[in-house]
Structure 1
Amino acid sequence: MALGVLKCLKLLKPSQLCNFGESFIANGSLYSCMTYVTNVDKEDNFEKLIESWNTGIKKQKTNKAMRVYLERAKQHDDFMKRQQISYQIGKRHLANMMGEDPESFTQDMVDEAIQYLFPSGLFDRAARPFLKPPETIFPPRKAAEFDNEGRPFHPFFYTGRPTYYKILFDVRQHMGDLKLHHNSLLIKRLPIDESTKMDVAGSAWCTQEEMQVILVEPISEIEYKIFLTAMERLIAMPYSNKVKDFINKYRKPLLGQKKALDIPVPLYDESGRAYVTTYECLRKSARGHVTIRSPGTGLIDINGQDISYFQDKQSREQILFPLMFTNMVNTVDVECYVDGGGSTGQSGALRWGIANSLRSFVDMEMVHKMRLAGLLTRDYRLKERKKAGQKGARKKFTWKKR
């Protein structure tokens, strides 16, 4: 109605505006026009009058929640701009220190330069210095979920976590569709193909932290478990491969496992014997590398000594276990070098290196058995440090009341 009144006012002359009514109703609100028309003496001021009315109406429609959101969004954008400027300045300084062109200085070159200029022996990567784009460090800001008048866009807005519950709703919808398809085949008496289930080998579910980044919403541990349970039920249903695109959104490939499955190709020395060398054999603080040569006579060389390098029986069994498991005790020669740590750490590191190198000399069935036996799994456990105010890493002092 307000637009109709404004059109009528535009047809009137300025001298006729003063005889117009004192007020009119527009959009359920009472707007007074007497204060506007009494000062209108010229036709030039009429356009300003109409513009001021339009501006007042627009401001009246803006919801308080939207104003708060716009203010916070502006603060977030200003913060990201400052961080982006600081990142570009730091990258330019780093490029000048390395003698590179700042314009063509990529993120991989930045990581290499930091590793070269600031070497760190800290085991935890989060404690090492780094320079990353601010978009990868600070979480993204969620867009507005309501319009100017405060009406929410999402049907699950009032749950507090609309995106999370929308995923659970989609899971239920897909399960219902698959069940209907399955029942239709049963009615037609058609055979059910078990191969239609989705194969999720080589991938894993996104972690709780990664799901929070995807959803741009905080979720609790219980909610994350509910999500995993619902998705596992969806995968277990027949013909779940029909919704594999939806499932793969929340799964990630196991790149480390894929790399571990790549069996190295043996090389040949001057005498024509095949050999494979495995580096970075780790266990606690022990570090070493192992070379397996085939054919051999069962010779074991550890730092220039035989298996008597280890005095205790348990460490010797650790070295021999991969060879005995694959029936390769008298078939290959083993050359090892290890440094750091004690006998337990050194034998554990060499055991993994021997097992990893033996994959090149056995069939795939034996490799699968080795994996099930745990021979190809690294042990990244470390000794936990002693805590201040405690007797040890976990042990406490005896508590006495008096």
Structure 2
Amino acid sequence: MRRVTLNFVRQKGGPGDKIMFRPPPMSRTTDPYRQDSLPPHRIAKTLAKTGIDKEFIEYQVKQFELGKRHLGNMMGVDSELMTQSDINQAIQYLFPIALFSKRSRPIMKHPDEIFPKTATLEVDENKRPKNPFFFSVNAEFSNLFFLLADAIHKCDQALKEGRRPERFLPYDPLTQRWMGEQKLSDLLNTKVAKYNMRHFNSLIRRLATHPMAADYEHLLEAFRVKTGTAGLSIEVKQQKQSLNDIEGFLESDPFDRVSIAQGAKFTAKATVELRPCKDNEEAEVTVNEKLLSEHFDYIQDREQVMFPISVTKMYGKFHVKATVEGGGRSSQSNSVRLALSRAMVPFLEDNLVEKLRLSGMLTRDPRKRERNKIAQPGPRKKKQFRKR
């Protein structure tokens, strides 16, 4: 146990003299591994971020063994034969306490049970952390989210520049699974919150369904889980065939030739699943499991949806299955048009992709509703002026 010396000083001045308590200074120079200023759960959070020092753990183990011998001497028991339950009973007998909070009760456990097992902190030659998100709340997750978001941004930029993927990476949600909460926690050596898990699943699926996902296949494989022979992820054969040849697509399994893309405008978000049609098969265009004419009543909205197909002259070549939510009819039709244009890129020639890009169909409309201002009835509207 730590010996604490209470220092009392007399404060002069004011209405009478007051005796005040001055806490003793921390002896960091004599004992650099002393952590009495923080409770165990705060030490665990700090170490989870900075990494555990081996010397610190060795010191804590020595202190645990010393305290265990002291408990054995006080209880008249051999310390070598004491288990964790015996230690808990001894502490409860020697230090009876009725505090409700468990963190306020005295505990004595092995350091491996108190301090988390984390990876060693990587530092440079100046002893500075290499992780750029070290000072964030959760450095490992922030770094992972940045890698996924940066990969998605670079894929979007490649599509805007008119680049075509060299090969197509199929995605089947029925056979491909991603890391769960426990496996991701073990990989990152940190506890995973539910909102972080939802954010991770959203980013990894968005990257996996991107037409340019083949450029980051190594990143996807790092978080993909093998689920047995029936659920193995589909292996992509590196064939040197052009993605422009739709007849070559039809010779292979049509379920392996699916393009999925997302689009948005204002608050409307759309997802389009594009499949090539087989011979003598009529193309279908559905929105939210309804025909195009049933979902969009106005002909202007239907023209907006079919504009990418009419520009590229690809009538009757694809099955279009779109899902859209949020926004109004105009924003929904524009979001479906953007998603359809992005999904068509892997199937088109370079000149047709350039045509779509010049038409502005591969770029999202950045406009948003302007927020209301303080002390105003609307974004721009002002109150009526009264001179008197």
TM-score, normalised with respect to structure 1:
0.38
Q: Which has the larger radius of gyration?
A: 1
TM-score, normalised with respect to structure 2:
0.39
Structure with bigger helix share is 1
Which protein, 1 or 2, shows the higher relative CO under an 8 Å CA cutoff with sep ≥ 6?
Answer: 2
